[in-house]
Amino acid sequence: MRFAFAALLALVFPLLTAQIASAHGLGIEARLQDSTVHIQVYYDDNSPVSNGKLRLLDAANLLLLEGTTNAQGLFSFPSPPVGKYRVEVHVDDGHFTKTTIAIPPPSSSDASSENAMVSYGLSRADRTGARKWVMALIGLLILALGTMALKWFAKKRQQANSISQP
């Protein structure tokens, strides 16, 4: 009985104390084309992030550049020297994300290809496409399997207790 009350309280308490939260994730995709870095900032529903405050920091966390995304979620700037940089985006609605970009040397095959992706992580297509739903389904499957395993262990424990009691 005590366990059932604790479980019920654990389920109900978050619902009673929940704050309003946005259900969006942010993504950043950076591409290098013609010595210019083009940043796209977007929500995971594929809508652009307009007026996102963008910051570019070097490896020593020194601020190199600040700017704001346009209505299409785009921001461009001249390519910095070869190296790794951090891009951070803050949105007025409380969202925040960051990624690392790597500017390759000019002789690199990536740099010579047109529109080369220089950001780490998932591409926009992967983050906003069917892949996110596949990952959500896998997560739900893991939760279901975990629940079934807990029920099975509880049943075995109950059977063991009933056998040991005269």
Return d(Cα 82, Cα 86) in angstroms, integer. Answer: 13
CATH superfamily for domain 26-122: Macroglobulin (MG2) domain (2.60.40.1930)
Distances, alpha carbon 20 to alpha carbons 11, 42, 56, 124, in Å:
17, 21, 30, 26
DSSP state of 52: -
* Listed residue (107, 57, 124) closest to 84, CA to CA: 57
0.85 exceeded by the pTM? no
- Mean pLDDT along residues 8-23: 58
Q: What pLDDT, on a 0 to 100 scale, did the predictor assign at position 20?
A: 47
57 in Cβ contact with 145 (< 8 Å):
no
pLDDT at 102 over 50: yes
Q: What pLDDT, on a 0 to 100 scale, did the predictor assign at position 153?
A: 87
The confidence band for 111, taking pLDDT boundaries of 50, 70 and 90, is: very low
pLDDT, tens only, 116-132: 889 988 777 777 766 66
pLDDT at 66 over 50: yes
Position with higher pLDDT, 138 vs 71: 71
